[in-house]
Each structure stands twice: as structure tokens, then as C-alpha cells.
Chains A and B, each alone.
Chain A
Amino acid sequence: MNESSGAVHPFAAETAASIARGVREGRIRALDVARATLDDIDRRDACYNAFTEVTRARALAEAAAVDAAIARGEVPGPLAGVPYAVKNLFDVEGLVTLAGSRINRDRAPATADASAVRRLRAAGAVLVGALNMDEYAYGFSTENSHYGPTRNPHDPARVAGGSSGGSAAAAAAGMVPFTLGTDTNGSIRVPASLCGLFGLKPTYGRLSRAGGYLFVGSLDHIGPLARSTADLALAYDAMQGPDASDPVCAQRPAEPTLPVLGRGIDGLRIAVADGYFARPMADEARAAVHSVSEALGATMRVDIPEAGRGRAAAFLMTAIEGSLLHLPDLKARSGEFDPLIRDRLLAGALAPAQWLWQAHRVRRYVRDRALQVFDRCDVMIAPCTPMSAPAIGTEWITLEGERMLARPNLGLFTQPISFLGWPVAAVPVARPPGALPIGVQVIAAPWREDLCLRVAAHLERLGVAAAPAVLPH
């Protein structure tokens, strides 16, 4: 990697919160932040391949609009002038929504922004681009055959994780303070863990997915990735609220989390997930759980009932629903799919209907039993990824003597939780300088994102959780 990869722009170390404060107070101009960010992306992204599109004109226009609003004496939103970028499955007006594919390049550009993008714009945020991902979100590594692999900013020879790999790399490298990703089986949490970021997969149905290209509608979530808990909460809060254009989005009012981040963990019953979540993992994953549970004084161990069979059902729903969405293209142009997913999609399209129907019924069965765990605790700690980032191209891994496929098993610990739809914060565990990042999952009951974020913020204050700085390569 070239030397310039370590050069950063003047706002790179700033959080979204500090940029928004500076812009609101008139100390910095949104336009200056946008220009510096765009120039930095131009200079550094070749090292990471996080962006598939940079929306320079739009970013400058949005930033100028924020500055103009301030000049008129208007109160800008909570994300005034904050640059961000989105996984390229979110509709951005005027851009073709690639969803990591070659096939979608033939489609017309989006005529409107996705709901989440609209809400972030209304909050004053400035969109600077669209980000790389696994094709159609079907992967955990962002080794995209069409657009190239996204590289981990902490070691560009390694994967960034996926499927929101570009989202993780862009935030971890400091090119933007936060990004949007999506999570069907772990696609926010896996790259957050491997790139050393905070990530939030909210409760299923909490945030609107309207204008996002579906992967598996029954399991799809959207959420933010950031280098601090406060930024995560800022972005999350700005996107909350019902949206009639997403049939899954809950009719719940916004429940802001930023005001409660400082409440600490008093009164919370925190446990460590056992059973399924104690299965083979690398030393660094086990050490991460240990370090966090020790800091939280979490000695109770709980078993989430049916987590293993839940993961199996999620696997089938993903394979079959994810395939059938693409059946017309699989029939007409299967050769244009990424070879990393093509065979799985074709197989999923041929699967017996009984497999899918049983998986859907089992989901309700598992839900009813798994929820019982919250009789004993309010929050659980679990591993996020079974290891830190593998090298790009890794096919197989061995965890405590057990050999398994690398790519699907990066989501070993995340998949059962998204199947249940529970909120989870991925939290990066502080590591020695130069060590590869790894995170843990902080899991709460449905609609209690506030608890996930409170615990994450507490760990951050203790210094146990931190997004590591990227060292020059």
C-alpha cells in the first residue's frame, strides 16, 4: 500500500457529533468538511476499494444548503454537515442501485432516495457516496468479483467483512464518521467486528428499509456503523419512526437513544451467552468476550434456547427467498452473477417449498422459546465473529480443531440473533496497537436498542471498547 493511505483530512478524526456541533456553532462550514472529505476519498480509497460511487456534486450541494440554512438563522438538524455514505443497495436519486451486482447496472437510476437517506438528509447529513458490498448482500466478506474486494483498513491484505464491507472500511479508515449498512444474517455486525467499529442492528422492523434493495425480506434490517457509540446513536435516532412504504416497519414512535447513553449499567442484569455461543472460536474471540464480561461484572451464563436450529432455519430462508427474488435473471443470465454466489442461488431456487415453509414456522417456535432468556437477564454478551479478519481469498478456517468453510462461518454467531430479530450492538474490543480488531455482540430484548447502546457506551467510557485508529500502511 502506498504512503498516502495514512494521510487523512483535517476532519477525519472528528466524530459526527463534533462536526455537527462545529457546523451548528458556525466554527466550521459544512462545505469545507464536504470538500475535505471528498478529496480524502479521492486520495485514499484506492487502498481500500470501499466506494463504488462518489457523489461529489450532490455532497457539495447538500453541504451548501446546510451552510445557507445556518446563515438564514435556521436551526440545522442533529447531523448538520456530517458526511456519510451508504451501502450501494440503498436508492440514491440519480444513481443506479447496484446492490453489488453487474446485472443491476442495466437498470434505470433511482428516481428517489431510500427512506433512510431522506431522513438523514433532513437531519442535515451530507451524502458523499455509495459503498461496495457482496453481490446482492449474499456473503460475509465483500470479495466482490465485479467491483473487487474491499480491503480491511487495519490490514489491506485481509477482508473487511461483509456484506456491508464498504460501509465498514469507509468508516474505519476515517473517510466518513458513519455509514449505513444492512444486516440479514450479520452483515453489519461481521464487518463492524473485523474492522473495529460500533455497529447497530436494530430490532427487526424498527428502521424503514423502503428504497433498499431486498436480499431476504423476512430477515433484512438496516442500521449504522460508526467509530463511537454517540455517533451510532445520532445516526440511528435520525432514522427512527414509522414508514408506511415498508410493510415490515413497525408503527412505533421514535425512542431516542442519545439522551440515555450516559445512564451506565446500574440495575441491568447482564449475562454471557453460553451453549451455542460457546462453540469453537479463535483465541481472540474468546478473549474479547472475556474482557467485556469481566469489565461488566457479568458472571451469569445463559443459554438462548434453540439458537442452533434457529440458525439452520435462517440459512434455509436466506438460500431460498434470496434465490427466488432473482429467478428471472437466473433463468436468463445466470452467467453474469458473481461466481461466489451463483451456485448457491441456483440451488436455492430449486429447493422444495416444504423446507422454506418449515423454516418460517420454526421461526415462530424458536422465538417463543428464546424470549424466555429475558426472564433471567436484560442484556447478553456473545462473540460477534469467531475470529479476526481472514486474508482475502481464504476458503477454509480451523477453529479449535474444527475445519469449516470460512465465508459462511464468519456469521456463525450473528445469524441466530438476526433470525430472532433482536437488537444488537457490535462493540469493538480495545486491543493492543497493531492487533487486528474484533468485536462482541451486546444483545437485548426486542425494541430495547437503548440497552445495547447504554452498555456499549459504558464499555467505551471504561476504555474496554474502542474503535482502533488506522495505522499508516
Chain B
Amino acid sequence: MTDPKAVDWSAYVDIASAAIGLPIDASVRAGVVANLERMAQVAQVVDSVVLTDTDEAAGVFRP
């Protein structure tokens, strides 16, 4: 995954919020960006696990 520090998370918030129709009020914007940055750092840890094509998600859906 891309280095989270190299991503403009503020710009990402604009694009992603527009894409799903989720307005982000200016009063909370900084907090949202900060939380995404934190998530990106955690995602980097999770991405460091090298998976194979046979590593399935553990779904529980039973038809």
C-alpha cells in the first residue's frame, strides 16, 4: 500500500464524500481527516500480511 504520509487525505475526503453523498461539515472535517490518517497507518500494518489466493475471508452467510 502507498505510504499513508504520501496521501493527501484532505483531498481524499472531498472525493470520497462526494462519491457516496456523505456531507462532511467544516466543523468536523479536521477530525475526520485525522481519523482517516490513523486508519491508514493501521491499514498499513494489516496490509503487511502476505496472503495467498486461498486465504479466504471467514464469511458466515449460509443459504
Contact = CB atoms under 8 A, between A and B. Distances in A.
Nearest to A365: B55
B22 interface: yes
Given A331-B22, A361-B57, A365-B51, A309 B46 contact: yes
Interface size class of B (residues with CB under 8 A): 20 to 34
A346 B61 CA distance: 27
Count chain A CB atoms within 10 A of each CB in B28, B35, B39, B46 and give the residue with the most: B46
B39 A327 contact: no
B46 A359 contact: yes
Given A316-B43, A360-B57, A365-B51, A351 B21 contact: no
A348 interface: yes
A350 B28 contact: no
A219 to B, nearest CB: 11
A395 B54 CA distance: 42
Interface in B1-56: 12-13, 16-17, 20-25, 28, 31-36, 39, 42-43, 45-49, 51, 55-56
A309 B12 contact: no
Interface string A335-360: 10000001110111111100101111
A119 to B, nearest CB: 21
Contacts of A319: 35, 39
A302 interface: no
Contacts, number: 102
Contact of A355 (B21, B23, B39): B39
A344 B37 CA distance: 11
Contacts of B58: 360, 363-364, 367
A346 B22 contact: yes
Nearest to B1: A354
A331 B24 contact: no
A309 B48 contact: yes
30 contacts: A247-B60, A247-B61, A248-B60, A306-B49, A309-B45, A309-B46, A312-B42, A312-B46, A316-B43, A319-B35, A319-B39, A327-B22, A330-B22, A331-B21, A331-B23, A334-B23, A335-B25, A342-B31, A347-B32, A347-B33, A347-B36, A348-B39, A350-B32, A358-B47, A358-B51, A361-B57, A362-B55, A364-B56, A365-B51, A367-B58
Interface of A: 205, 247-248, 306, 308-309, 312-313, 315-316, 319, 327, 330-331, 334-335, 342-344, 346-352, 355, 357-367
